[in-house]
Amino acid sequence: MVFDVLIPARLASTRLPDKPLAEIGGVPMIVRVARRAAQSGARTVTVAADHAAIVAACVRHGIAVVPTVETHASGSDRLAEAAARLGFDADDIVVNVQGDEPMIAPALIDACAALLESRTDCVMSTAAHAIRSAADFHNANIVKVVLDAESRALYFSRAPIPWPRDGNAGDASVTPLRHVGLYAYRAGFLRRFPLLAHSPLEAIERLEQLRVLWHGERIAVHVSEGEPGIGIDTPEDLEKVRALFAANDGAGFA
């Protein structure tokens, strides 16, 4: 299996300014993510950066990087530009690893790429895992996904889905799934994605993957046994990850 990893990196962040450059154990977060992704089976790992400071950090640490414009509305739009600049063929598989996932499991990256390679009926693949906590099920910041019989996404939502008619989530016969923001695309579709009209569902939920479903395309979903590492959205998340790094002497990082 041959695939490439692209990591979108945007300097501006409302909740954590200059997030890609935040240091974890003396190394910028974006470098930690790229090194972790390099432990997968990816042919190449490249950061798609929107700012010269991110480019400089990558170059300083020997990480491949491609500059992109600052005005992209989403990470997928940024990756579409990067994929075009790098000259990927239409059938090449590109995995989008989020730039705030320094503890992403390399095996999960491999699994997402392998799933898309095997599913010619789908233009994308992603990942999910079981939700075991009622608090997580009701948390609007945790995205849920419902699958069909062929493990393709039916819908993504910030709402608790599927919702039992009697309102008792403990009686649900289908285990709720938490969506993991890891995506694999065929490069041809990735370049086409920014040209698709935005979906009203995408605007309501603030979930760009709903644009894919809105236009009748399919997304295959890999359900993992374990939960992914902590993603970093806030200063509190960053301190948790820094504490984990220090307590475990860098284990689970790269």
153-198 per-position pLDDT tens digit: 999 999 999 988 776 655 557 889 999 999 999 999 999 998 999 9
DSSP 51: S
| DSSP, residue by residue, 98-144 | -TT-TT--HHHHHHHHHHHHH-TT-SEEEEEEE---HHHHH-TTS-E
With beta carbons less than 8 A apart as the criterion, state whether 212 and 156 touch.
no
- Which stretches of the chain are assigned E, i.e. beta strand? 3-9, 23-24, 27-28, 44-49, 64-67, 93-96, 124-130, 144-147, 153-157, 177-186, 219-224
| DSSP, residue by residue, 145-178 | EEE-TTSBEEEEESS-SS--TTS-GGG-SS--EE
| Close Cβ partners of 120 (under 8 Å, ≥ 6 residues apart) | none
Per-residue model confidence (pLDDT) at position 234: 86
pLDDT digits (tens, 9 = 90+) for 196-219: 999 999 999 999 999 999 999 999
Amino acid 174 reads V
With beta carbons less than 8 A apart as the criterion, state whether 9 and 97 touch.
no
Helices 52-60/29-37 angle, 10° precision? 60
DSSP 18: T
CA distances (Å), origin 3, targets 8, 79, 196? 16, 14, 24
Q: Which domains does the chain have, with CATH numbers?
A: 3-231 (3.90.550.10)
Per-residue model confidence (pLDDT) at position 217: 97
Cis previous bond, 20, omega within 30: no
With beta carbons less than 8 A apart as the criterion, state whether 67 and 10 touch.
no
Rg (CA), the chain: 18
User: Per-residue pLDDT for the chain (254 aa), expressed as one digit of tens each?
Assistant: 899 999 999 988 777 889 999 999 999 999 999 999 999 999 999 999 999 999 999 999 999 999 998 888 788 888 999 999 999 999 999 999 999 999 999 999 999 999 999 999 999 999 999 998 899 999 998 999 999 999 999 999 999 999 887 766 555 578 899 999 999 999 999 999 989 999 999 999 999 999 999 999 999 999 998 887 788 888 998 999 999 989 988 877 87
With beta carbons less than 8 A apart as the criterion, state whether 208 and 95 touch.
no
Integer Cα distance of 172 and 168 in angstroms:
7
SS3 category, 4: strand
DSSP 142: S
- Closest listed residue to residue 106, CA positions, set 246, 233, 224: 224
| Close Cβ partners of 226 (under 8 Å, ≥ 6 residues apart) | 105, 129
